[in-house]
Amino acid sequence: MEKIRIRGGRKLEGTIPISGAKNAALPLMIASILTPERLTLENVPRLRDVSLLGRILNNHGVDMTIAGKRQQTAGEASQTLHLEAADICDTEAPYELVSQMRASFWVLGPLLARCGEARVSLPGGCAIGTRPVDFHLQGLKALGAQIDVEGGYVVAKAPKGGLVGGRVTFPKVSVGATHNVLMAAAMARGQTVIENAAREPEIADVAECLRKMGARISGAGTSTIEIEGVSDLHGATHEVLPDRIETGTYAMCVAMTGGDVVLENARADLLDEPIAVLREAGVDVSETNRGLRIQRNGQALQPISVETAPFPGFPTDLQAQLMAMMTRADGTSTIRETIFENRFMHVQELARFGADISLDGELATVKGVKRLTGAPVMATDLRASVSLVIAGLAAEGETTISRIYHLDRGFERLEEKLGACGAEVERLAG
């Protein structure tokens, strides 16, 4: 099994290109189910999850080519995908596929909308909480779907004539459920209103792509989305927005190590709260015509208090990275995790570096230490894995991170991007 080895203590200097957003690319790929015509997606990151979802979609009859080739090839730039679902050959998403990636559960809404039926396994994914699918099912029921759960599968059928518009009010903000219902409602008869919808930029990006395909959607990016269903959607070309989580992660790498790095193609409007937190911690963040410039030269990191929240609040997907950064702050920080109940599994691994972190339910108290020491550590999930990279970059000596397949799910060419800025990071064969 592959590992990553880091020799810490080097400042980062240079440019890091920000890839397309994984959290937008995946639902955009799934949206291809909604039309028999070609959907072309540009700026798609080269990630393990993208490849896996391509295989899952192929199981349904979606033909995917990558820049004209059937196989993914190595390269520096993000890729262009062409997806065509001329005929849906199978409306079942089996356990052995869905269990590998939670987002694949989102095929449920598009399959219902286009084919009138679907049988989709209950999902798996990162071990960071139960993350139930109740909101997905409630939303689709509001569009007229008949839904049963049998033997670990969701069995859904649309009424005769297809899904019908309805009012969906989520008891709690859910990005996944918003994606699922939004895609289904695009082809439901009549108007659908989604209240307490997720406001994440990736939701707005998917809605923009659906509009290019002929959907009638307004309000995406706000808490109320209105959809006027259409009978058919057509092909389109869409560029995936830059990844705000990758942007925030590399910003924290620079903040942790010191240095001066331009995050090319990054967008400040996607990261208002994380940028405010970085500035509070003493990091210089400025906009340029190339993206965002991150600088920290000499001054100590200042402690902060943060609570994760749905967008536009501080993202849970940056919580582990922020915690790693705060292990070297000059004082005590607090981080409250309000989204997932089991997202502190990185704490034990950070302690192996010498970090001083205590937990009390959803609250983590991080006392900054003067030095971290390299250690062998193990990744437990996607975001936790990159928090170990951040700690390793600042630690004295050598760090080895195992189970890095988690990293490959969400970070494109991480060791190459960091290495180009002076970090000593290399991948070791298993």
Q: What is the pLDDT of residue 125?
A: 45
The residue type of 124 is: G
Task: Please indicate whether residue 209 is annotated as part of the active site.
Answer: no
Q: Does residue 218 have a known ligand-binding role?
A: no
pLDDT by residue (tens digit) across 296-337? 988 899 999 999 999 999 999 999 999 999 999 999 999 999
Q: What is the pLDDT of residue 71?
A: 44
Q: What is the pLDDT of residue 406?
A: 84
Burial of residue 360 (number of CB atoms within 10 Å: 0-12, 13-18, 19+): exposed
Using 50 as the pLDDT threshold, list the residues of the chain that sit under it: 70-75, 125-130
Q: Does residue 174 have a known ligand-binding role?
A: yes
Q: Does residue 172 have a known ligand-binding role?
A: yes
DSSP tag of 316:
G
Q: What is the pLDDT of residue 68?
A: 53
Going from the N-terminus, what domains does the chain have, and what CATH number goes with each?
3-18+242-428 (3.65.10.10), 22-239 (3.65.10.10)
What is d(CA 83, CA 47) in angstroms, rounded to the nearest whole number? Answer: 17
What is d(CA 330, CA 228) in angstroms, rounded to the nearest whole number? Answer: 53
Q: What is the pLDDT of residue 78?
A: 81
Q: Does residue 333 have a known ligand-binding role?
A: no
Hunting for tokens 């994440």 — which residue is that?
Answer: 200
- The residue from 115, 126, 253, 421 that is catalytic is 126
Q: Does residue 339 have a known ligand-binding role?
A: yes
Q: Does residue 102 have a known ligand-binding role?
A: yes
Give the number of C-alpha atoms closer than 13 A to the C-alpha of residue 246, restricted to the C-beta side. Answer: 29
CA-CA-CA-CA dihedral for 286, 288, 292, 294, to nearest 10: -50
Query: How many of the other CB atoms lie within 10 Å of CB of 55?
Result: 12
pLDDT by residue (tens digit) across 6-50? 999 999 999 999 999 999 999 999 999 999 999 999 999 999 999
241 close to 20: Cβ distance less than 8 angstroms = yes
Q: What is the pLDDT of residue 73?
A: 45
Q: H helices within 213-271, ranges in order?
A: 244-257
Q: Does residue 205 have a known ligand-binding role?
A: no
Q: What is the pLDDT of residue 124?
A: 56
What is d(CA 67, CA 65) in angstroms, rounded to the nearest whole number? Answer: 6
Q: Does residue 175 have a known ligand-binding role?
A: yes
